[in-house]
Amino acid sequence: MISPTLSIARETIQMFRLELSQTARHAQRFQRSGVPGEVPVFTATAVVSVLLAAVLVFSATQKLSHKEAVVRSYAKVGVPEGRLNALALLLLAGAAGLLGGLVRPPLGVAASCALVGYFLLAVAAHVRAGDRARLATPLALLILAAAALALRLASA
């Protein structure tokens, strides 16, 4: 029997393939439209969205694994092990929304906004717990989510 983590990872990879092919068709449509500046902004949006989605899927699979080191690191900031699955599902939904947003821009805007909120709360949790050693990760992901939102708004 395939573990739930592997099953989710497989489904996500299949979704990435589908989204990337749709993204390529979307970019070709902009190239044909002759609107100057649209293709570079959309390309940047696609690159940042796919990169952030990949990081989110990796993070979600780590949470779903319930490895001792992962559980311990989240416990330091006050997240009980029972909440890791819910956090993982939020990250997977965010990844799906980012990728879906390449085809349907409002979905990408909504996903980016939600991810900015998620990572603002993550930064706050680390600051509140005094966990400065692991603060860089949620800060970097917050910046990436904010970049995805700004690019999505610029190319929508």
Q: Is the pLDDT of residue 90 over 80?
A: yes
pLDDT band (50, 70, 90) for residue 131: confident
The amino acid that residue 60 corresponds to is: A
Task: Please report how many Cα atoms fall inside a 13 Å half-sphere around the Cα of residue 59, on the Cβ side.
Answer: 23
The mean pLDDT value of the chain amounts to: 85
Distance, CA of 111 to chain centre? 8
Residues 6+ apart with CB under 8 A from 85: 63, 64
pLDDT band (50, 70, 90) for residue 133: confident
Contact 105, 120 (CB under 8 A): no
Backbone φ and ψ for 102, nearest 5 degrees, come out as -70, -25
pLDDT band (50, 70, 90) for residue 40: confident
Spell out the domain ranges in the chain.
4-155
The pLDDT of 43-71, averaged and rounded, is: 95
Q: Is the pLDDT of residue 86 over 90?
A: yes
